[in-house]
Chains A and B, each alone.
Chain A
Amino acid sequence: MSTQKILNGNQTIAEAVRQIDPDVMAAYPITPSTAIVETIAKFKADGLISGEFVCPESEHSAMSVCIGAASAGGRVMTATASQGLALMWEMLYIAAGLRLPIIAAIANRSLSAPINIHGDHSDTMGARDSGWIQIYSEGCQEAYDNFLQAFRIAEHLDVRTPVLVGLDGFIISHSMEVITVEDDDEVKKFVGEYKPVYPLLDTSRKMTVGPIDFTDYYFEHKRNQIEGIENSPPVIEAVGKEFGQKFGREYGFFEEYRMDDAEICIVVMSSAAGTCKDAIDEMRSEGKRIGLVKPRVFRPFPHHKIADVLKKQKAVAVLDRSSSPGAFGAPLFTEIRSALYDYTERPKIVNYVYGLGGRDIKVEHFKEVALKLEKIADTGKVEEIYGYINLRE
């Protein structure tokens, strides 16, 4: 039987870890993900989990432990944020290159300088080309659900690619929510038994993991790696459906909110989507035809699916909680704008950066965005492609 529990995002991840009980958990504490690591350590001390808990001297080493343990054949997870994820950088690429289905919970936080401990997506967006699958959560329930699904996606034989699950620092990691925690046995059944491919501990087989490639093999190995994430969309879809059948909460690549007859639309990920839904409800009651698209899976990006939904809109605003200095817009925007390029029918599209370093985004801000979208829809003209929300100008 499932139970209702009052948990914050970090406790929610720790609870999922307790239920799955991976073979190895290696992590170094960093705000705002510390409580994940701390709670797992407590579970271990209390004898509630049997997996190994390793607390090395840095995040670089934590990911290295994960890589070693996963190569050995273990089911492995970690948790980190911000500078911690940045310190893992080179190991992230190695985990993906070795096709190790490691799971990481990331309490999204800004990057220095200036130093700041609050939530934005700079950390995981920086890792967007590392080869990891990226799934973002709107609240604690989604963080829990996404984390459970992450194992099934990563470990699927066609995929075998690491997955990170993002939960906004503080806004989700430290906020209490009543969530449905599924029954331990049902979770174990859903996640299933882990069968490693080519584990190093299988001494009956002679093999080398991570050998050097020169110009004659590197390219082929990289293409071979890319195949894993390219195989993942049908798996992500099937796992999201099966999760829905089993636990009543179905997931896809993105959520459409009040999009049926919408003419203008806001695209925003993670916790801000919750606030945006309130804003849209209010504007809908005023008769505005506005909707929300909330991407859940950022890597692999569902280009065609999202373009199919957005192409009929008159105006679209993509909101990014990270910046990409010098680029043609922030990460989410460039993906979506590029996805729409192949369509003759396509909306006017603008990009707003919001919430860096944990800056609030409120209902009123979404209403300001809607006003701008209405003007663009009416005039058919975009005066400024990029802008910033709730910034002192």
Chain B
Amino acid sequence: MKKENWKELTIGTINLDAGNSVKNLTGTWRSGKKPEFIEGNCIHCFFCWLYCPHFAILVEGDKVKGINYDYCTGCGICSVECPPKEKAIVMVKEEIKLIERSAK
């Protein structure tokens, strides 16, 4: 992506392309662990959706459907907040594939 020089920028740090953080794949920050969704354990309480700092919980209607790994940073908050004894989100080891991620 071409970066603007200082003359091309809008004054006052204003970003007229609001919402462009969608292009910023925060999922590339994940290092070592990722959340895994176990649908059978889920009571669809939406705690994970409420707590996820990156809006990375996938939802369909009134059901949680999984994780959007493009934006999930692997912080683990969803797993901690998930209430059932048999958690519906568990953190699992993830092999980091640097090349694959940076290609996005």
Contact = CB atoms under 8 A, between A and B. Distances in A.
Interface string B1-21: 001111101111111101100
A164 to B, nearest CB: 18
Interface in B37-59: none
Contact of B12 (A98, A205, A219, A220): A98
B5 A220 contact: yes
A220 B11 CA distance: 11
B14 A97 contact: no
Contacts, number: 56
A99 interface: yes
A213 to B, nearest CB: 7
B6 A228 contact: no
A208 B7 contact: no
Identify whether the interface residues of B are mostly helix, strand, loop, or mixed.
Answer: loop
A197 B11 contact: yes
A99 B13 CA distance: 8
Contacts of A205: 16
A216 interface: yes
B18 A221 contact: no
Nearest to A157: B11
A207 interface: yes
B15 to A, nearest CB: 4
**B7, B10, B11, B15: most-surrounded residue (chain A CB, <10 A):** B11
Nearest to B16: A207
B16 A220 contact: no
A85 B24 CA distance: 38
A140 B84 CA distance: 71
A207 B19 CA distance: 8
Interface of A: 97-100, 160, 197-198, 205-211, 213, 216-217, 219-221, 223-225, 227-228
18 contacts: A98-B12, A100-B12, A198-B10, A198-B16, A205-B16, A206-B18, A206-B19, A207-B14, A207-B15, A208-B14, A208-B15, A208-B18, A209-B13, A210-B13, A220-B3, A224-B6, A224-B11, A228-B11
